[in-house]
Amino acid sequence: MTPTLTIELAERFARIALGHATREYPNKLDHVLTGPSDVRSPRELHPIFFGSFDWHSCVHAHWLLARLYRRFPQLEVAGQIRALLDAQFTAAKVAGELAYLEPAAARGFERPYGWAWLLMLAGELHRHDSTEGRVWAARLAPLAAAFVRRFEAFLPLATYPIRAGVHSNTAFALLLARDYAAATGHAAFAELCAVTARRWYGADRVSPAWEPSQDEFLSPTLIEAALMSEVLAAGEFAAWFAGFLPEAAQGLPATLFTPAAVSDRTDGKIAHLDGLNLSRAWCWRRIGAALAPDDPLRGTLGPAIGRHLASALEHVAGDYMGEHWLSSFALLALDPVSA
């Protein structure tokens, strides 16, 4: 049986995120020092996103909480989530996050992974019908707009994609950015992302699928295919995918259907592989949804998704090196983004 998102899992994930979203230390900063005055604490630098070990993980911890608050209003911790988001999403704190982006030294801050997750959070808030959700969305909107502008400036300059299975991966960034565009109705931004995806990946054929690498948490092969399933029409995607992974229906390359082994979950980089297994399940679900009902690959995907989820779900908490981020990827894998 393929696991699904239950109220029990939602409660567990929410409690995990509440435990680290405002935990300031340990902390790994993405921060350029241009002088002594730049030596400041995470909370001073980032009035909203100072927890969860690093800025981007804190952003997607807030995304997880906002999403579960909307999807499961009956959560026992719903009041705690509402109180946290009320306290964090204020005009003054958003202004502080915007101020951090102003210096030239911050031009590459969190590009593109953190940019994409911030937009994913903003897109989730736009889906809220509650009074508080609309307030949160409005308050975060200036920060989202700042990252849209960064994407708009960067994508035309990015001659090449980045295919590494870590934070720099550009297919993952475009996929999350398009989710924001869909939620907010930003058609021009969605088209920019689609045009860029076609330019970067449209001619790719017969992926070597050289994965996993030792510290990947994204599948370079499957995240690219998931993105192309979004930007290409159904028939066009079917032709592209047949050329990209021509033996997928036969379960090949086998590495894409087999969970990665995680040897030490106290090592932050090795623990990335639990995230790889979760993100592969997410990608296969998105790819499968774009395939024709009679596509022979469909019979292979269910077991592969189940194996990947089963290998990682029990490890979303335990050691902080995984705990500060893995539940967000578990939520992606278990709950359709458009839900």
In the chain, where the domains are located: 7-30+40-334
Tell me the C-alpha distance between 237 and 202, whole Å.
Answer: 10
Per-residue model confidence (pLDDT) at position 76: 98
Tokens of 171: 């297919």
Per-residue model confidence (pLDDT) at position 59: 98
Per-residue pLDDT reduced to its tens digit, 37-78: 999 999 999 999 999 999 999 999 999 999 999 999 999 999
Per-residue model confidence (pLDDT) at position 2: 73
Tokens 């400036």 sit on residue: 153
Is the Cα dihedral 161, 167, 171, 175 positive or negative?
Answer: negative
Per-residue model confidence (pLDDT) at position 336: 73
Tell me the C-alpha distance between 238 and 236, whole Å.
Answer: 5
What burial letters (b/e) apply to 28-57, b meaning 16+ CB within 10 Å? Answer: eebbeeeeeeeeeebbebbbbbbbbbbbbb
What is the three-class DSSP state of 218? coil
Asked whether 49 and 59 are in contact (CB, 8 A), the reply is yes
Per-residue pLDDT of the chain (339 residues; tens, 9 = 90+): 678 899 999 999 999 999 999 999 999 999 999 999 999 999 999 999 999 999 999 999 999 999 999 999 999 999 999 999 999 999 999 999 999 999 999 999 999 999 999 999 999 999 999 999 999 999 999 999 999 999 999 999 999 999 999 999 999 999 999 999 999 999 999 999 999 999 999 999 999 999 999 999 999 999 999 999 999 999 999 999 999 999 999 999 999 999 999 999 999 999 999 999 999 999 999 999 999 999 999 989 999 999 999 999 999 999 999 999 999 999 999 997 665
What are the residue ranges of helices labelled H in the chain?
7-20, 42-45, 55-71, 78-88, 91-101, 113-126, 131-154, 170-184, 187-201, 220-231, 234-244, 272-290, 298-312, 320-323, 326-334
Tell me the C-alpha distance between 163 and 209, whole Å.
Answer: 11
Asked whether 260 and 209 are in contact (CB, 8 A), the reply is no
**Domain made up of 7-30+40-334: CATH architecture:** Alpha/alpha barrel (1.50)
DSSP label of 32:
-
